[in-house]
Amino acid sequence: MLDFVECIAKEAGSLILDAFDKPPSFHEKVSYADLVTDTDQQVEELIKTNIHKKYPSHKIIAEESASGRSTLTSEPTWIIDPIDGTSNFVSKFPFCAVSIGYFKDKQAQCAVVFNPISNHMFLAERGKGAFMNGKKLSVSPCIDLHNALILTDWGGDRNAANLDTKAANIRRLISEARGSTIRRLTCVHGEK
């Protein structure tokens, strides 16, 4: 199954890579920070088509075509984010990826996250571990928040109440951690 998902991710990554240097065509979904591009939709369709060909009875929960909240059931289900980091993609910031996960009985079975711009392929399979470009990954030995590096993102939901909650949580975490990288605050990237 993991080989199948990896092949789909590579094919989807080719679409993302081809579109990366072109002017993006996009619109807002819920807010100015929650975008969808034509490439998102093309990549999602490619992934869904491949899954339906091989596994016609499987359910799919896909970011761009999901209407409202989707519920994960015990049925075999694929969860897709065609371009995880669409705002980065639109801004030509090279941190975006295609993300595909497969669940059965509400348990993750395998997943792939592929950044075609940096050519980083992350693979994980239940009981077999996680890998980046073929190299086995291990869990950090860090068990104390004071020694942790924290990365966060504000997400696309920018209503005032949610932003206040997120800011309070970030403030609490970074006051206890050794270092933090808050991408939305610290990354400065100019348009090409």
**How far apart are alpha carbons 77 and 151 in whole angstroms?**
28
Residue 175 lies in a domain: yes
CATH number, position 113: 3.30.540.10
State the binding site.
Answer: 63, 81, 83-84
Cα-based torsion angle of the residue sequence 19, 91, 63, 100 in order, rounded to the nearest 10 degrees: 60
> Total domain count for the chain?
2
* Residue carrying the six token digits 């504000």: 154
Percent of the chain clearing pLDDT 90 (strictly above): 56
What does the pLDDT look like over 26-81, one tens digit per residue?
766 666 556 788 999 999 999 999 999 999 999 999 987 765 678 899 999 999 99
State the binding site for Mg(2+).
Answer: 63, 81, 83-84
pLDDT at 32: 56
Task: State which residues form the domain around 178.
Answer: 145-186
131 and 149: one domain?
A: no
Cβ atoms of 90 and 40 within 8 Å: the answer is: no
> What values do phi and psi take at 174, rounded to 5?
-70, -20
What does the pLDDT look like over 152-177, one tens digit per residue?
777 777 788 888 998 898 888 888 77
Out of 136, 158, 178, pick the residue that ends a domain: 136
> Which range, of 55-59, 109-113, 117-121, 150-154, averages the lowest pLDDT?
150-154
Closest CA to 130 of 113, 106, 144: 113
111 and 153: one domain?
A: no
13 and 100: one domain?
A: yes
